[in-house]
């Protein structure tokens, strides 16, 4: 009987379930994206190079005069987490949001949850983002993409969320070549 209990612990996840959603960023998400980029600048010790504002991000990521189609130029995915299942998102012809359930070993202590709360009614919190753009490999004669940023907030780091964003980009773009650069001292970012 003891043996059975030990095996059941290996098979059945005992942690806390977290619902995740990766979706295309919208102009409404600019304040969160701006703050995430600032947090990344702090993490990378590059705040002296941080000049982005919500206005400049809005006008470059979502230009009103000449809208850039998603995936034709730079594109942003946002990762949200929630203790509750996500409601069905409105149809988007360019990307269907990716919803997954993740079981975490420990409860996540998120002191910034209120700042990053996306939908107050559901407890949805922005956990990270990725910014990427298409590129081209002349050696392979194939399109690819370059990931400029993948950033996961500290409370959600080392839980596989960065890989979730990377895989979402790879699945959508469908290319065999991915390029990105990781700061040498960011050991966890390279795992």
What DSSP string describes 164-182? HHHHHHHHHH--S-EE---
**Structure-model confidence comparison of residues 87 and 25, the more confident one:** 25
The pTM of the full predicted model, rounded to 2 decimals, is: 0.84
Domain boundaries, the chain: 15-190
Lowest-pLDDT range of 15-29, 34-48, 68-82, 177-191: 177-191
Report the pLDDT value the prediction gives residue 121, as an integer from 0 to 100.
59
| pLDDT for 2 | 35
The reported pLDDT for the residue numbered 123 is 79
Instruction: Report the share of the chain in percent with pLDDT over 90.
Output: 39
- What is the pLDDT at residue 149? 92
CATH annotation of 15-190: 3.40.630.30
Token pair of 36, please? Answer: 């995430």
Query: How far separated are the first and last CA of the chain, in Å rounded?
Result: 38
| Structure confidence at residue 169 (pLDDT) | 87
**Half-sphere exposure (CA, 13 Å, Cβ side) for 125?**
19
Of residues 69 and 44, more confidence is placed in 44
On whether the CB atoms of residues 30 and 57 are closer than 8 A, the answer is yes
SS3 state at 78: strand
pLDDT digits (tens, 9 = 90+) for 45-98: 999 999 999 999 999 999 888 787 888 888 999 999 998 888 776 667 778 899
Tokens of 24: 């295309």
Cα→Cα distances 176→22, 72, 94, 146, 159, Å:
21, 17, 20, 12, 25
How do 16-24 and 98-104 pair as beta strands?
antiparallel
Mean pLDDT of 177-183: 73
Which of 12-21, 23-32, 114-123 reaches the highest mean pLDDT?
Answer: 23-32
Q: What is the mean pLDDT of residues 100-115?
A: 83
What confidence score (pLDDT) does residue 138 get?
A: 84
- b/e burial code for range 138-162 (CB count within 10 A of at least 16 → b): eeeeeeebbbebbbbbebbbebebb
φ, ψ dihedrals at 93, nearest 5°: -65, -15
43-47, 101-105, 109-113, 164-168: least confident range: 109-113
Determine the pLDDT at residue 68: 79
């Amino acid at each position: 009987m003891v043996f059975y209990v030990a095996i059941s612990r290996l098979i059945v996840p005992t942690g806390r379930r977290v619902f995740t959603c990766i979706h295309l960023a919208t102009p409404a998400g600019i304040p969160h994206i701006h703050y995430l980029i600032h947090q990344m600048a702090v993490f990378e010790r590059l705040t002296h190079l941080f000049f982005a504002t919500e206005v400049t991000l809005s006008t470059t990521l979502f230009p009103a005069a000449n809208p850039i189609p998603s995936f034709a130029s730079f594109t942003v995915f946002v990762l949200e987490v929630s203790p509750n299942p996500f409601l069905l998102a409105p149809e988007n012809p360019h990307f269907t949001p990716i919803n997954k359930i993740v079981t975490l070993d420990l409860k996540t202590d998120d002191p910034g949850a209120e700042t990053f709360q996306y939908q107050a009614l559901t407890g949805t919190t922005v956990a990270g983002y990725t910014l990427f753009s298409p590129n081209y490999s002349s050696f392979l004669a194939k399109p690819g993409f370059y990931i400029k940023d993948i950033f996961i907030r500290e409370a959600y780091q080392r839980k596989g969320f960065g890989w979730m964003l990377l895989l979402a980009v790879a699945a959508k773009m469908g290319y065999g070549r991915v390029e990105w650069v990781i700061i040498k001292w960011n050991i966890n970012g390279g795992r």
